């Protein structure tokens, strides 16, 4: 229990009025960053990094990591209110969060999202506190083959369960893979599918596709139905937070499962985005209300938000103990550590005890401060839906355009955003599922990269994916998840006659 003592020391470091002030500033800035699409957590942290050079490393990391928590919290807000995921990991939150807002339950959705985020983060911090060395050695076992198997599992647990016609699901998902393939092939360094266009060099960024498909597409759908946001009539009740809290403990199984998925995905490090999709997919299958997912189920908000935060938080562990960033934001924080003269790696925990445990203590406090800050703002956020559509729509369009521009500082991306918007409108009207498309854009190139790295190492043999216990187990889990609907029908059929007897 040495770590408990260290942690208490950490709290002593963090609990100065100055550090608490940095925490609040960080959270508020982070929420703003999370709300503005395109201005991601990585961007926000990178931009503010130089300003922290004159602070002590501990204060600086508190400020920056609180921006990170704030961005994680903030991503949920626009997803729920406007169907615009401000961050990649909040895409899965739109699936049920936005329908909830349309049904007049924006306050409940926001409260559930924030609270779940907090639970996920807290769980991950506890894991970090108690099991840091163990976790680091687990992460070391992940080579390319293991990484591919994790992406494979994320895919399998999410797809193959929609109500849409299978050929449309395939078309949408493969389109996502094709879009992900555009640009530089990281394995051979070759350009592909760019057809000589310099605009396509960087490929299609996931955020631009998402802002268009979800955000702009949603506005077009609303226009078609006349000028109103469905959730307009939402009553703003100050007690909504407490009422939702009473309901949440019922879903403790989903929460716990999502925490575990999130921690695992954060440590491996696959990241928060696959974690949120995977957790949503599994919750949908496991829940008895699974059929209603997508129409505004609170469980469909809890699952992805918990997993995303657990993953986002636990991703900091491989960064500290191995020097491998688990997310783009962690990559920037890593740069910061180097600049402050701290060398992330196995020795950081030994040599910079005060810093490490100060950081871990700030994770506890930062998330508590964050939860308080965002929860007090719930009625305010929900009230945004009362603003008339003719005012809110052009403002959203402008903010989306700026978001699309800031991803790569490229005006062409703004054009692409509009193209994706019209495509999103048409695809949704024609009953094509957008989620597999988006998942393929996010994970497509990473999965392909890991797959081909594995084959390089095995010199072309597919046996590499069943070469060790770890990778074979994950791959098998993936296959089971993929054929789950089929297997459960078989199981049900086998069981029915038995029950009749």
Partner 1 sequence: MIESRRFRAFVLAASATIVASLGVAPAGAWEPTRNVEFIVPAGTGGGADQMARMIQGIIAKHNLMKQTMVVVNKAGGAGGEGFLDIKGAKGNPNKLVITLSNLFTTPLATGIPFSWKDMTPVSMLALDEFVLWVNADSPYKTVQEYVAAIKAAPNGQFKMGGTGSKQEDQIITVALEKAIGKKMTYVPYKGGGEVAVQLVGKHIDSTVNNPIEAVAQWRAGKLRPLCVFDSKPLPYTDKVAGDMSWADIPTCKSQGLDIEYLMLRGVFMPAGVPKDAVDYYVDLFKKVRATPEWAQLMKDGAFNQSSMTGADYAKWVENEEKRHRDLMKEAGFLATN
Partner 2 sequence: MSRSPDDPEMSGPRHRHVEMGVAAVILLLGAITIFGSLKVGIGWGAEGPKSGFFPFWIGLLIVAASAFNFVRAYLDSSRKLFAEWGQISQVLKIVWPMAIYVAAVPWLGIYVSSALLIIGFMRWLGRYGWPLTLGIGLGLQVVIYVTFEKWFLLSLPKGPLEDLLGL
Binding to partner 1 by residue 348, rule CB under 8 A?
Answer: yes
Rule CB under 8 A: is residue 414 a binding residue for partner 2? yes
Contact segment (CB under 8 A) with partner 2 among 20-28, 75-83, 338-346, 408-416 equals 408-416
Which of 190, 391, 469, 493 binds partner 1 (CB under 8 A)? It is 190
Partner whose binding site includes residue 344, from partner 2, partner 1, none (CB under 5 to 8 Å by kind): partner 1
3-state secondary structure at position 191: strand
Least distance from partner 1 to the Cβ atom of residue 215, Å = 23
Residue 384 interacting partner from partner 2, partner 1, none (CB closer than 5 to 8 Å by kind): none
219 binds, among partner 2, partner 1, none (CB under 5 to 8 A by kind): partner 2
For 61, how many CA atoms within 13 A lie in the half-sphere containing its CB?
27
Q: What is the CA radius of gyration of the chain?
A: 22
Stated as kind and residue range, the H or E segment containing 183 is: strand 183-184
Secondary structure of 123-175 in HEC code, one letter for each residue: HHHHHHHHHHHHHHHHHHCCCHHHHHHHHHHHHHHHCCCCCCCHHHHHHHHHH
- 187: contact with partner 2 by CB under 8 A: yes
How many chain residues touch partner 1 (CB under 8 A)? 55
Give the C-alpha separation, 11 to 184, whole Å: 46
Letters for 439-468 (x = contact with partner 2 by CB under 8 A, - = none) are: ---------x---x--xx--xx--------
Specify whether the CB–CB gap between 29 and 48 falls below 8 A: yes
Tell me the window of 181-189, 229-237, 273-281, 368-376 that interacts with partner 1 (CB under 8 A).
181-189
Q: How many residues bind partner 2 (CB under 8 A)?
A: 66
SS3 content of the chain, % helix, strand, coil (to 5): 80, 0, 20
Give the whole-angstrom CA distance, residue 153 versus residue 206.
Answer: 20
Residue 141 partner contact from partner 1, partner 2, none using kind-dependent CB cut-offs of 5 to 8 Å: partner 1
Measured from the Cβ of residue 28, the count of other Cβ atoms closer than 10 Å reads: 19
Selected binder of partner 2 within 123, 425, 465, 484 (CB under 8 A):
425
Q: 53 touches which of partner 1, partner 2, none (CB within 5 to 8 A by kind)?
A: partner 1
H and E: helices and strands count for the chain: 24, 2
Near partner 2 by CB under 8 A, which window of 17-25, 132-140, 183-191, 293-301?
183-191
Among residues 4, 21, 192, 490, the one that binds partner 2 under rule CB under 8 A: 192
Question: What tokens were used for 500?
Answer: 């009749």
Residues 203 to 262 in contact with partner 1, rule: CB under 8 A: 203
> How many angstroms separate the CA atoms of 301 and 120, rounded?
13
Mark out the alpha helices in 141-271 (DSSP H runs): 144-158, 166-181, 206-210, 217-224, 240-247, 252-267
Interface region with partner 2, contact rule CB under 8 A, candidates 103-111, 236-244, 422-430, 482-490: 422-430
**Residues 58-93, buried b or exposed e (16+ Cβ, 10 A)?**
bbbbbbbbbbbbbbbbbbbbbbbbbbbbbbbbbbbb
Q: CA-based angle 336:401:271, to the nearest 5?
A: 40
Q: What are phi and psi of 341, to 5 degrees?
A: 80, 15
As a whole number of angstroms, the distance between CA 127 and CA 121 comes to: 10
Which listed range, 31-39, 122-130, 233-241, 323-331, lies at the site for partner 1 (CB under 8 A)?
323-331
Among 17, 54, 167, 350, binds partner 2 (CB under 8 A): 167
| The one segment of 42-50, 359-367, 429-437, 471-479 that binds partner 1 by CB under 8 A | 42-50
Binding site for partner 1 (CB under 8 A): 25, 42, 46-51, 53-54, 140-144, 183-191, 194, 198, 201-203, 322-325, 328, 331-332, 334-335, 338-339, 341, 343-348, 408-410, 449, 453, 456-457, 459
Binding site for partner 2 (CB under 8 A): 32-33, 36, 39, 43-44, 47, 165, 167-168, 170-171, 174-175, 177-178, 181, 185, 187-188, 190-195, 216, 219-220, 223-227, 388, 390-391, 393-395, 397-398, 401-402, 405-406, 409, 411, 414-415, 417-418, 421-422, 425-427, 429-430, 432, 448, 452, 455-456, 459-460
């Amino acid at each position: 229990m040495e770590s408990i003592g260290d942690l208490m020391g950490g709290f002593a470091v963090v609990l100065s009025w100055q550090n608490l002030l940095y925490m609040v500033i960080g959270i508020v800035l982070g929420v703003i960053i999370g709300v503005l699409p395109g201005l991601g957590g990585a961007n926000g942290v990178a931009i503010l990094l130089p300003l922290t050079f004159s602070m002590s490393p501990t204060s600086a990391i508190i400020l920056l990591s609180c921006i990170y928590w704030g961005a994680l919290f903030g991503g949920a807000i626009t997803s729920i209110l406007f169907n615009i995921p401000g961050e990649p990991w909040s895409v899965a939150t739109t699936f049920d969060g936005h329908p909830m807002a349309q049904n007049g339950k924006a306050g409940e959705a926001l409260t559930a999202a924030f609270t779940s985020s907090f639970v996920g983060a807290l769980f991950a911090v506890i894991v970090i506190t108690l099991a840091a060395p163990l976790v680091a050695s687990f992460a070391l076992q992940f080579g390319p083959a293991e990484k591919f198997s994790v992406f494979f599992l994320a895919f399998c647990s999410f797809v193959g369960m929609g109500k849409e016609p299978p050929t449309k699901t395939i078309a949408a998902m493969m389109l996502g893979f094709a879009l992900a393939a555009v640009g530089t092939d990281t394995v051979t360094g070759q350009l592909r599918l760019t057809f000589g266009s310099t605009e396509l060099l960087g490929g299609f960024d996931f955020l631009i596709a998402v802002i268009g498909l979800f955000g702009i597409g949603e506005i077009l759908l609303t226009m078609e139905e006349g000028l109103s946001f469905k959730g307009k009539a939402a009553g703003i009740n100050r007690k909504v937070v407490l009422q939702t809290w009473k309901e949440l403990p019922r879903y403790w199984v989903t929460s716990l499962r999502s925490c575990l998925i999130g921690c695992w995905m954060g440590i491996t490090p696959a990241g928060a985005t696959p974690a949120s999709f995977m957790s949503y997919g599994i919750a949908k299958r496991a829940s008895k209300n699974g059929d209603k997912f997508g129409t505004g189920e609170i469980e469909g908000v809890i699952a992805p938000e918990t997993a995303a935060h657990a993953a986002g938080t636990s991703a900091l562990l491989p960064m500290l103990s191995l020097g491998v960033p688990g997310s783009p934001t962690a990559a920037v924080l890593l740069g910061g550590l180097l600049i402050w003269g701290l060398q992330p790696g196995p020795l950081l925990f030994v040599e910079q005890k005060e810093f490490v445990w100060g950081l871990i203590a700030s994770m506890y406090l930062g998330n508590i401060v964050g939860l308080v800050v965002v929860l007090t703002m719930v009625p305010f956020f929900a009230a945004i839906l009362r603003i008339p559509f003719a005012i809110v729509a052009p403002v959203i369009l402008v903010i989306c355009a700026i978001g699309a521009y800031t991803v790569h500082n490229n005006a062409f991306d703004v054009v692409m955003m509009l193209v994706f918007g019209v495509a999103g409108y048409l695809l949704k009207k024609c009953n094509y599922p957008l989620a597999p498309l988006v998942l393929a854009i996010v994970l497509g190139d990473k999965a392909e990269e890991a797959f081909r790295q594995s084959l390089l190492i095995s010199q072309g043999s597919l046996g590499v994916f069943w070469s060790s216990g770890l990778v074979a187990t994950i791959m098998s889990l993936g296959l089971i998840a993929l054929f789950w609907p089929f297997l459960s029908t078989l199981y049900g059929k086998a069981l029915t006659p038995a029950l009749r007897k």
